[in-house]
């Protein structure tokens, strides 16, 4: 029978990335498929990023031909409609897939088989909490970024576990944000460092083209899921199951 690696759960930079690597290799095919699915689900956003350029309009000759007025008016309405659809997709659909994907990585960290149903489970239960939590974190980080960037980075680091808590413990947006703030106390710089290093991991993945980016994404997601699980254990919020005694 195949035995998975023994994972260490210490909320540290080195352990998070080390254990994250083991989690990735032990569940490579399933997690590889997860990041592919998430990448595909993000693709529709490109269809809403339509750039209607009006620089070819002939402003030297007035009045405009009525046909031109209707044409550019239609372009404007279409651009507004596509922009609205993009916002709705970004705030009402993408969070469900994104949060579900995060929980699949947590399952892998806990040496449970990642369940693909988790990607859409948010539509059946906890949907409102997922959407509101994503909106809350986005708004708080955005406000922080406007306030000289650094507050936004701090808020982003301290709310890094919000998505996990909504999915894992079924908390509402406020409870999840408050619990994330508590869990990340003392780990803010560690999360920032992990995010900073993740940037270079993704760069290395880009150098290795498409496959490299997916592997980089798997490693980073596994590492952050490991850090979250380690923080739960540190705070006594998750009991690690004892290994079965060997048969005599």
> Is 91 in a helix, a strand, or coil?
helix
Distance between CA atoms of 96 and 100, rounded to whole angstroms?
6
Q: What is the DSSP string of 115-167?
A: PTTHHHHHHHSSHHHHHHHHHHHHHHHHHHHHTTSHHHHHHHHHTTTHHHHHH
Which DSSP symbol is given to 5?
P
Instruction: Extract the tokens encoding 70.
Output: 């209707």
pLDDT digits (tens, 9 = 90+) for 150-172: 999 999 999 999 999 999 999 99
Distance between CA atoms of 15 and 233, rounded to whole angstroms?
14
More confident residue, 209 or 25: 25
Distance between CA atoms of 180 and 156, rounded to whole angstroms?
10
Give me the pLDDT at residue 222, please.
98
Please name the residue that has the structure tokens 């550019």. Answer: 72
| Domain definitions of the chain by residue range | 13-234
Could you tell me if 17 and 194 are in contact, meaning their C-beta atoms sit under 8 angstroms apart? yes
pLDDT digits (tens, 9 = 90+) for 101-114: 999 999 999 999 99
What mean pLDDT do residues 184-198 have? Answer: 96
Instruction: Extract the tokens encoding 246.
Output: 């060997």
Distance between CA atoms of 248 and 246, rounded to whole angstroms?
6
pTM: 0.84
Residue 51 pLDDT > 80, yes or no? no
> Is 95 in a helix, a strand, or coil?
helix
Instruction: Extract the tokens encoding 242.
Output: 């004892």
Give me the pLDDT at residue 42, please.
75
pLDDT band for position 247 (50/70/90)? very low
198 alpha carbon, distance to own chain's centre: 13
Please name the residue that has the structure tokens 């405009």. Answer: 64
Distance between CA atoms of 81 and 88, rounded to whole angstroms?
11
pLDDT band for position 54 (50/70/90)? very low
pLDDT band for position 245 (50/70/90)? very low
């Amino acid at each position: 029978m195949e035995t998975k690696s023994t994972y260490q759960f210490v909320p540290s930079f080195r352990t998070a990335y080390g254990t994250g690597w083991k989690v990735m290799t032990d569940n490579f095919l399933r997690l590889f498929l997860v990041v592919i699915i998430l990448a595909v689900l993000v693709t529709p956003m490109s269809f809403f990023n339509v750039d209607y350029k009006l620089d070819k309009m002939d402003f030297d000759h007035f009045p405009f031909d009525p046909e031109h007025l209707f044409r550019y008016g239609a372009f404007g309405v279409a651009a507004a409609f596509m922009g609205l659809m993009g916002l709705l997709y970004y705030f009402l659909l993408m969070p469900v897939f994104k949060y579900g994907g995060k929980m699949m990585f947590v399952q892998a960290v806990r040496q449970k088989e990642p369940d693909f149903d988790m990607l859409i489970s948010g539509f059946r239960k906890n949907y409102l909490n997922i959407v509101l939590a994503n909106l809350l974190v986005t708004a708080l980080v955005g406000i922080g970024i406007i306030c000289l960037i650094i507050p936004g980075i701090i808020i982003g680091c301290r709310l890094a576990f919000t998505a996990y808590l909504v999915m894992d413990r079924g908390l509402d947006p406020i409870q999840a944000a408050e619990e994330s703030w508590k869990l990340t106390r003392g780990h803010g710089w560690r999360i920032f460092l992990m995010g900073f290093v993740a940037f270079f991991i993704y760069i290395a993945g880009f150098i290795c083209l498409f496959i490299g980016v997916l592997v980089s994404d798997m490693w980073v997601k596994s590492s952050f899921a490991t850090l979250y699980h380690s923080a739960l254990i540190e705070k006594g919020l998750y009991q690690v199951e004892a290994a079965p005694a060997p048969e005599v």
